[in-house]
Structure 1
Amino acid sequence: MGAALVAFLKRLALQAVIDEETRENLVMIVIAILVSVVIIVVTLGSLPSILINTFVQNMSQDINVLEDKAKVAVYQDTIFIVDELNKEWIEAMRSEYDYCDEFEIIYNYSLTWQDLIAIDSVLLKQDFSNMNQRKIINVALKFLVRTVTVEEFEVEEDVGHNRYCDDDCDEEHIRLVTKKIAIIRIDTRNFEDVLPEVGIVDEEDTLLALNIYSMISNIDIEGNLNIYDDIDLTDLQEYPEGHANLPYYNQTDARWGNNSYGNTTILDGGCGPTSLAMVVSGLTGQRITPDIVADWSYRNGHRAEGSGSYWSLMTKGGKNYGLNVEAVSRKDPNSIIKALSEGYPVVVSMGKGHFTSGGHFIVLRGITADGKILVHDSASVERSNKEWDLSIIMNESSTNGGTSGSPFWIFRP
Structure 2
Amino acid sequence: MQDENASRKQAFLSAARIAQSAMTGGLHGAAAATAVEAGKRLVKPVLAASAVLFGIPLLFLTGIPCNLFDAPSVKSADIQEMTAQAQNLNASWKRQRSLEQQAVDLFVSLLPKNIGFLSIETRLGNTNDYWQVAITSVLNEQNVALLNEDKIVQTMKDKMQYKLEPKYKDGKLVGYILVIYDMTPDELMDKLGFDDQQKTWAGLIADTISDSDYSAPVGSTDNSADADLSDIVFTGRGNSKDVVYFSQYDSRWGSQMYGKTNTIAGAGCGPSSLAICISTLTNKTVTPPEVCVWSVKTGHRCEGSGSYHSLIPDGAAHWGVPCRGIGQSKKQLVQALQDGKLVIAIMSRGHFTRGGHFIVLRGITSQGKILVADCASYERSQKEWDINIFLNECNKGAASGGPFWVLG
TM-score (norm 1): 0.57
Q: How does 1:102-181 map to 2 (within 5 A)?
A: 106-107=124-125, 108-109=127-128, 110-111=130-131, 132-135=143-146, 143-145=155-157
CA displacement, residues 20-65 of structure 1 (integer Å, 9 cap, x when unaligned): xxxxxxxxxxxxxxxxxx9xx9597354275287599999958723
User: Which residue is equivalent to 1:313?
Assistant: 311
Q: For 1:60 and 1:93, locate their aligned partners in 2 and report how far apart those are by CA, in whole Å.
A: 37
Evaluate the alpha carbon distance shift between residue 242 and residue 394 of structure 1 in structure 2; reply closer, same or farther with a 3 A threshold.
farther
Q: For 1:304 and 1:216, locate their aligned partners in 2 and report how far apart those are by CA, in whole Å.
A: 18
**Contact 1:43 1:215 (C-alpha < 8 Å) held by counterparts:** no
Q: Tell me whether 1:349 sits opposite 2:369 in the alignment.
A: no
**Contact 1:106 1:186 (C-alpha < 8 Å) held by counterparts:** yes
Q: How does 1:325-336 map to 2 (within 5 A)?
A: 325-326=323-324, 328-336=325-333
Question: Identity across aligned pairs (percent)?
Answer: 30
- CA drift at 1:362: 0.8
Q: Which SS does the other structure have where 1:275 is aligned?
A: helix
Q: Tell me whether 1:372 sits opposite 2:372 in the alignment.
A: no
User: Which residue is equivalent to 2:15?
Assistant: 51
Evaluate the alpha carbon distance shift between residue 186 and residue 383 of structure 1 in structure 2; reply closer, same or farther with a 3 A threshold.
farther
Match of 2:390 among 374, 389, 393: 393
Evaluate the alpha carbon distance shift between residue 281 and residue 63 of structure 1 in structure 2; reply closer, same or farther with a 3 A threshold.
closer
Aligned residue identity for 2:333? I
The structure having more radius of gyration, on CA atoms, is: 1
**Contact 2:17 2:33 (C-alpha < 8 Å) held by counterparts:** no
- CA drift at 1:405: 4.7
- CA drift at 1:135: 2.7
User: Which residue is equivalent to 2:95?
Assistant: 88
Q: Which SS does the other structure have where 1:268 is aligned?
A: helix
Match of 2:196 among 203, 210, 218: 210
User: Which residue is equivalent to 2:321?
Assistant: 323
Which shows bigger deviation, 53-62 or 298-307? 53-62
User: Which residue is equivalent to 1:267?
Assistant: 265
Q: Tell me whether 1:246 sits opposite 2:257 in the alignment.
A: no
Whichever structure has more strand as a proportion of its residues is 1
User: Which residue is equivalent to 2:36?
Assistant: 65
Q: How does 1:283-302 map to 2 (within 5 A)?
A: 283-302=281-300
Q: For 2:318 and 2:200, locate their aligned partners in 1 and report how far apart those are by CA, in whole Å.
A: 44
Aligned residue identity for 2:255? N
User: Which residue is equivalent to 1:410?
Assistant: 406
Structure 2: which 5+ runs fail to align? 22-28, 39-46, 62-85, 110-121, 163-178, 210-236
TM-score (norm 2): 0.58
Evaluate the alpha carbon distance shift between residue 66 and residue 253 of structure 1 in structure 2; reply closer, same or farther with a 3 A threshold.
same
Which shows bigger deviation, 45-54 or 351-360? 45-54
- CA drift at 1:132: 3.3
CA-based RMSD? 4.6
Evaluate the alpha carbon distance shift between residue 309 and residue 193 of structure 1 in structure 2; reply closer, same or farther with a 3 A threshold.
same
**Contact 2:189 2:199 (C-alpha < 8 Å) held by counterparts:** no
Q: Which SS does the other structure have where 1:134 is aligned?
A: helix
- CA drift at 1:304: 2.3
- CA drift at 1:98: 9.7
Q: For 1:277 and 1:291, locate their aligned partners in 2 and report how far apart those are by CA, in whole Å.
A: 9
Q: For 1:241 and 1:105, locate their aligned partners in 2 and report how far apart those are by CA, in whole Å.
A: 50
User: Which residue is equivalent to 2:253?
Assistant: 256
User: Which residue is equivalent to 2:232?
Assistant: none
Q: For 2:359 and 2:196, locate their aligned partners in 1 and report how far apart those are by CA, in whole Å.
A: 37
Aligned residue identity for 1:88? R
Q: For 2:101 and 2:30, locate their aligned partners in 1 and report how far apart those are by CA, in whole Å.
A: 47
**Contact 1:343 1:366 (C-alpha < 8 Å) held by counterparts:** yes
Q: Which SS does the other structure have where 2:371 is aligned?
A: strand
Count of residues paired in the alignment? 301
Evaluate the alpha carbon distance shift between residue 329 and residue 270 of structure 1 in structure 2; reply closer, same or farther with a 3 A threshold.
same
Evaluate the alpha carbon distance shift between residue 260 and residue 333 of structure 1 in structure 2; reply closer, same or farther with a 3 A threshold.
same
**Contact 2:137 2:143 (C-alpha < 8 Å) held by counterparts:** no
Which shows bigger deviation, 270-279 or 134-143? 134-143
